[in-house]
Chains A and B, each alone.
Chain A
């Protein structure tokens, strides 16, 4: 079945450092891929998405490129801020999963001033 694997956290960075959070997926079809962010005590917010191979999703300085050849959707940001501290979830959805979202286990990011 479909699945999503994320790098384990926590990831601790200093402000203005470069961020990469790895995400790989297994899917039988052609999924859409998402990154969601969860701030402490809150629900999830959609951060960015990509619906086909080679698409790049971007939002708030974050980027991720849909790489079909490596089945990856790594999240990157050039310069993190303290306010980026949160848990980041990679997810996929496709017709084979009945359009249900399948989430990775989440990666906690802590940015120190």
Chain B
């Protein structure tokens, strides 16, 4: 059964701690994306990766970091430098950079107190 998995579904952290959100896909997609969603708002792009060992900043990359060491994995680290980290984080993938359709994972809700 192909798809995108994100874990955990809910994550709680204390302020000042870094936290890493997992995203794995078995769709054999080249491109992967991280979005942030705040209540009542649309999605904002954090980082994206078109190919292994390459990634680019999106619109709101400050306070976040990513890696793409394997095609199927694209973890996102929310660092202590991110001023408002509490949000719903969504990972997505597409067949290639030039493919318009993106497929989304179920999301991770991060709460930082």
- Residues of A with Cβ closer than 8 Å to B? 32, 34, 36, 41-46, 49, 51, 89, 93-94, 98-101, 103-106
Contacts and interface: CB of A to CB of B under 8 A. Distances in A.
A15 B15 CA distance: 44
Nearest to A8: B40
Contact of A100 (B41, B48, B104): B48
29 contacts: A34-B101, A36-B104, A41-B109, A42-B106, A42-B107, A43-B6, A43-B104, A43-B105, A44-B90, A44-B104, A46-B102, A46-B103, A49-B100, A51-B100, A89-B42, A89-B43, A98-B97, A99-B97, A99-B98, A100-B33, A100-B45, A101-B33, A101-B43, A101-B92, A103-B43, A104-B42, A105-B40, A105-B42, A106-B40
Contacts of B109: 41
Of the candidates A44, A45, A49, A106, the one having the most CB atoms from chain B within 10 angstroms of its own CB is A44
A43 B100 contact: no
Contacts of A36: 104
B17 interface: no
A107 B101 CA distance: 20
Interface size bucket, B side? 20 to 34
Contacts of B97: 98-99
A43 B98 CA distance: 22
Contacts of A94: 100
Going nearest first, the 7 A-B pairs with the smallest beta carbon separation are A43-B104, A103-B42, A44-B104, A105-B42, A93-B100, A32-B100, A43-B106
